[in-house]
Structure 1
Amino acid sequence: MSSFRILARVMRRNVQLPVHDFLVPAFFQPSQRCMSSTPKHNAATSPDPSSAPSVAKSKRKPLTKEQREYLSSALRVNQAGELAATLIYTAQTPLLVNAHPHLRPLMCHMYEQEAGHLKTFNSLIAKHRVRPTAFYPVWSVMATGLGWSTALLGREAAMACTEAVETEIGEHYNNQIRALLEMFEQWETEGYEVGAEFRELISTLRRIRDEELEHLDHAVEHDAKKAEPHWLLTNFIRAGCRGAIWASERV
C-alpha cells in the first residue's frame, strides 16, 4: 500500500498523532487541543453547530516560534530552580535541625513543597518534550554546596539564603505570569479563547509563586535579617540566582 493511501486512512480514522502539544507545531488539526487558543463564535451569527463542519470546531491559532521558545525556556528554568531549592533544603536540614530541633517541622514543610514543585515541572517537561538545562549537574553541585555552607554558618545565614533565593524566584514567577497574561490578552483581543491547559498553567504558576513567597516570609520571621553581613550574603546569592536563571533559559 502506498504511503499516500496509508496517510488517507489515518486521517479518515481521525487518529490523534502524538505531536499535538503546545510546543510542537501541528500538521493535522485534532478534534480538541489543549494549550491552544480557539476562535470565539457569536451565537447569533454562527451556523447551527450540528450542521457546521467538524474542522471548524478544532480550528485554533498556533503559537509563534517565539512563544514556543519562551514557554520551553520557562519550563526548563523552573525545573532547574525547583531542583536547586530541594537540594538546598536537603543540605541545610541536618545541620540546622541538629542545632535547632524546633526548626524540623518548618524545614520539612518547605522541603515537601519544593519537592512538589519539582514533581510538577518534571511532569510538564516530559509532557511537552522540553530539553532540561545542560547545567543540571552543575546546579546540583552548587545548590548542595550553598545549602551546606550557609547552614554551617548558622541559622541566620541559612535563613538569609532562603530569603535571597525566594526573592529572586518570586520575582521570576511574577515575570512569567505577567508575560503569559499579556499573551492571553492579545489572543482575546483578536477574538480567540484561551485554552484550558494554559489557564491551568497560570493557576499552577500562581500557586507555586505564593508558596515560594511563603518561604520568604518564614525566613524573615526566623531572623534572616540578622545574618552578618546580611547585605553581602543575600546580594551574592541573588546574583548567583540571576546568573543561573539566565543560563538555564538559554542552554
Structure 2
Amino acid sequence: MLQSRVLRRCSQRRLSSAAQQIDTIIRVDHAGKSSVGPMIQHMWDQEKEHKAKFEELINKYRVRPTVLTPIWNVAGFMLGAGSALLGPKAAMACTVAVESVIVEHYNNQLRVLMSDPEKNRELLTVLQKFRDDEQEHHDKGLDEGAEETPFYEAFSNIIKLGCRAAISLSEVV
C-alpha cells in the first residue's frame, strides 16, 4: 500500500513536471514570436539572396572561396545565438555592430571598383544594393533599441574587432 502511494505521488509529480515543461515550452516559444519576427525574417531573406549572388559571382569570376567559410558559418551562428540569449536588445546590438563593419567594408570595395566603373558595373551594382541592405539592417537594429544593451560600446567594439579580423583573414586565406 505504501509503495502504491509512493508510485502515485511520483507519477503525479512527473505529470506535473511534464505540464510545467509544456507551459515553459509554449511560454518561451510564444515570446519568440515577437513583433521583430517579420523584420528578422526579412533580414534573413536578404542575407540568403546575398549568399546566392556571391555563389554565382564566385563561379562567374572563377574566384577561389576562402577556406575559412565553415569556421565563419559556425562563428556567425554562435555570435547570433549567443547575443540572442542575452536578449532582444543584445541581438540588435550584435546586428548593428556586424552591419556597421560590413557597410564600411562594402564602401571600401566600392571605392576600389570606381577606378573603372564601366568595367566593374555589375559588381558596383551588386555591392551598392547589398551595402544598402546591410545599412537598412543596421538602422533597424538601432530603431529596436540596440544602444540600450548594457555595456553596448564594449559589446559592439568586441564584435566589430572580430568582424574586421574575419574580413582580413578571408581576404588572404
> One fold, TM greater than 0.5?
yes
CA positional deviation for 1:98 = 3.7
Q: What amino acid sits opposite 2:141 in the alignment? A: A
Distance 1:235 1:126, change over 3 A: same
Match of 1:111 among 29, 44, 50: 44
4+ residue runs over 4 A deviation: none
TM (normalized to structure 1)?
0.56
Q: What amino acid sits opposite 1:214 in the alignment? A: E
* 2:67 corresponds to: 134
CA distance in 2, matches of 1:96, 1:170: 32
CA distance in 2, matches of 1:116, 1:242: 22
CA distance in 2, matches of 1:223, 1:96: 22
Distance 1:158 1:138, change over 3 A: same
1:173-198 Cα distance to aligned partner (Å, 9 max, x none) = 000001111x217xxxxxxxx34xx2
CA positional deviation for 1:99 = 3.4
CA distance in 1, matches of 2:172, 2:66: 8
Correspondence list, 1:131-170, <5 A:
131-170=64-103
Kept in 2: contact 1:97–1:103 (CA 8 A): no
Kept in 2: contact 1:96–1:151 (CA 8 A): no
Are 2:148 and 1:226 equivalent residues in the alignment?
A: yes
Kept in 2: contact 1:160–1:234 (CA 8 A): yes
Are 2:106 and 1:184 equivalent residues in the alignment?
A: no
Q: What SS is found at the alignment partner of 1:214?
A: helix
Q: What amino acid sits opposite 1:132 in the alignment? A: P
Kept in 2: contact 1:97–1:104 (CA 8 A): no
CA distance in 2, matches of 1:96, 1:205: 36
The count of residues paired between Structure 1 and Structure 2 equals: 146
Q: What amino acid sits opposite 2:148 in the alignment? A: K
CA distance in 1, matches of 2:167, 2:156: 16
Q: What SS is found at the alignment partner of 1:102?
A: coil
Kept in 2: contact 1:159–1:220 (CA 8 A): yes
Q: What SS is found at the alignment partner of 2:150?
A: coil
CA RMSD of aligned residues (A): 1.6
* 1:123 corresponds to: 56
Distance 1:212 1:97, change over 3 A: farther
1:90-142 Cα distance to aligned partner (Å, 9 max, x none) = xxxxx897435211110110000111011110100011221111111111111
Identity among equivalent positions (%) equals 43
* 1:173 corresponds to: 106
Are 2:102 and 1:209 equivalent residues in the alignment?
A: no
Correspondence list, 1:1-251, <5 A:
98-99=31-32, 101-181=34-114, 183-184=115-116, 194-195=118-119, 198-251=120-173
In structure 2, list runs of 5 or more residues that go unmatched.
Answer: 1-27
Q: What amino acid sits opposite 1:105 in the alignment? A: P
Q: What amino acid sits opposite 2:105 in the alignment? A: H
Q: What SS is found at the alignment partner of 1:184?
A: coil
Distance 1:156 1:101, change over 3 A: same
Kept in 2: contact 1:96–1:103 (CA 8 A): no
TM (normalized to structure 2)?
0.80
1:220-247 Cα distance to aligned partner (Å, 9 max, x none) = 0000000111011100000000000000
Which is helix-richer, 1 or 2? 2
Q: What amino acid sits opposite 2:53 in the alignment? A: T
